[in-house]
Amino acid sequence: MLPFFFDFRLLIWIAPAIVLALWAQWRVKSAFAAASRLPAPLSGAAAARHILDSAGASNVQVESVGGSLTDHYDPSTKVLRLSQDVYGAKSLAAVGIAAHEAGHALQDAEK
């Protein structure tokens, strides 16, 4: 039951944002699924390590983290965390996501 003060006009403003967010999430997941079928010579972890070492950021650790598409760089601990779908996979999607996250680490290194 909705509280008596709920204004349905609010839905006019919120609904498009929700629809847009769901559409964007669907696009990311479908692009990841398609690129996951394309092979690559390196795993996501190996690609990230290569990029970081080549740029002189060997102090950044690369770790596996649970979940799907939970990849991120933590600047407070200097750790690049790759989801299980990315860390060990040898696919275009894994290498692309790992390179993207390594880019965040390099941005942090350059301040």
**Active site (catalytic) residues:** 101
**C-alpha span between 80 and 45 (Å, rounded):** 9
10 Å CB burial of residue 97 (0-12, 13-18, 19+) is buried
Q: What letter does residue 37 receive in the DSSP assignment?
A: T
